[in-house]
Amino acid sequence: MNADDKVLKKMIRDYDGGPDIFLPSEHWKRLNATNAAWLEEEGFDEFKRSVNNNYFNWMVTTGSPIFSRPALSLLRIFKNDPRLGAEVARRAIAPMRYRTVDRTAHDSTAMQRLTYFSYLASLNRYVDAHDNYGLFQRLDEPLVGNPIVLKANGRLISQDLCNSYLEYMYVRESLGEHFSDLRRIVELGAGYGRLAHLFHRLGTRRTLQIVVVDIPPALAISQWYLKETCPEANVFEYRDFSNFDSVSSSFRNADFCFLLPHQLELIPDRYADLFVNVSSLHEMTRPQINRYYELVDRKATFFYTKQWTFWQNPDDQVPVPAVIYPTRPHWELRAARLNPLHPMFFEALFGVSVAGNRPH
């Protein structure tokens, strides 16, 4: 058993022994069993070809609603950038193995590959055309985890990179003048840490802390991944504690901190300048959603959420329309929209306690 396996097993033991309200829904019990089995078979080094496809990276088909909008620009892309068209064709010919929860085989057809890499080309063009801050060209997808990437203008592009930057821009635009005040971000359900990684790269690093809160195996993957891709970072690795004062000094001085969900109760109130959740609240039971909204109300100054407008939890038989989220009356809605590329998702940013004081 290697060190990563030991970390994961400890997280699982501690998580399973935690409060029932934070234990996974039936939906995530099923996905976690699959993800853990894949990690055991292939290791952390291959997770972007397997586990990640059960997070926010989708194997796109021509019939997918997320393909239709950016695909309208494909002909223009290939006409104006023949090199990119040639790169798409080259990647469509080469083998591409991947897994999803619905497709465990490692094979793909040439048409599937052509569709996927055409989508990446159009997604890259969309993000580049809507970059209000001129930062996207500074970014490329880390090779850690063996991602599925497209080379565009000398940079490695992935779905995760593009979606993370779009989320970053929306948060920055919605916060306005408050964006420069961000010092502590808490992300619930960070997956492998794609958005945390981007905020770290584009932030002021030593003055921006990101607290990752998740269930295993995702928490183990994100801890491993962010340590691998950000070796300069000061990391508060996951540990079992029941009193924040006992870890306060090392926790506050870290760039990244890693917590199981029940440990979120232990951090000081108003600790988070920004609380983030992308595409996981709708996969919980209603009591769990209510508990996390209580925690947002206590722990955060701002809250960014991105969820399905309607989703039927297939394992727990729980319908989750956007209107069921228990937003508090005193929260200020600063921005809201249907996502321009993923119209089945809504995004919103709330001021939870703009006048709240950050703990020292």
Residue 209 lies in a domain: yes
Residue 157 lies in a domain: no
Q: What is the pTM of this model?
A: 0.93
Q: Which residue has the higher pLDDT, 107 or 268?
A: 268
Sorting pLDDT into bands at 50, 70 and 90, what band is 104? low
d(CA 265, CA 170): 28
Residue 119 lies in a domain: no
Helices vs. strands in the chain: H and E counts, helices first: 11, 12
Q: What is the CATH number of the domain that holds 311?
A: 3.40.50.150
Instruction: Count up the domains in the chain and report the number.
Output: 1
Sorting pLDDT into bands at 50, 70 and 90, what band is 357? very low
Residue 10 lies in a domain: no
Q: What number of CA atoms fall less than 13 Å from residue 34's CA on the CB side?
A: 18
Domain that holds residue 179: 164-351
Sorting pLDDT into bands at 50, 70 and 90, what band is 97? confident
- pLDDT for residue 206: 63
Whether the upstream peptide bond of residue 217 has omega within 30° of 0, thus cis, is yes
Residue 303 lies in a domain: yes
Residue 148 lies in a domain: no
Task: Give the lowest-confidence range in 39-53, 87-101, 161-175, 179-193.
Answer: 87-101
Q: What is the mean pLDDT of the chain?
A: 90
pLDDT value at 222 more than 70: yes
pLDDT value at 3 more than 90: no
DSSP state of 181: G
Q: Which residue has the higher pLDDT, 359 or 154?
A: 154
Sorting pLDDT into bands at 50, 70 and 90, what band is 65? low
Q: What is the mean pLDDT of residues 267-282?
A: 96
Residue 287 — φ and ψ, nearest 5°?
-60, -35
Residue 152 lies in a domain: no
pLDDT in tens, 23-41: 988 888 888 888 988 998 9
pLDDT value at 322 more than 70: yes
d(CA 220, CA 215): 8
- pLDDT for residue 296: 98
Residue 356 lies in a domain: no
- pLDDT for residue 355: 53
DSSP state of 130: T
Task: Confirm if 346 and 306 have CB atoms less than 8 A apart.
Answer: yes
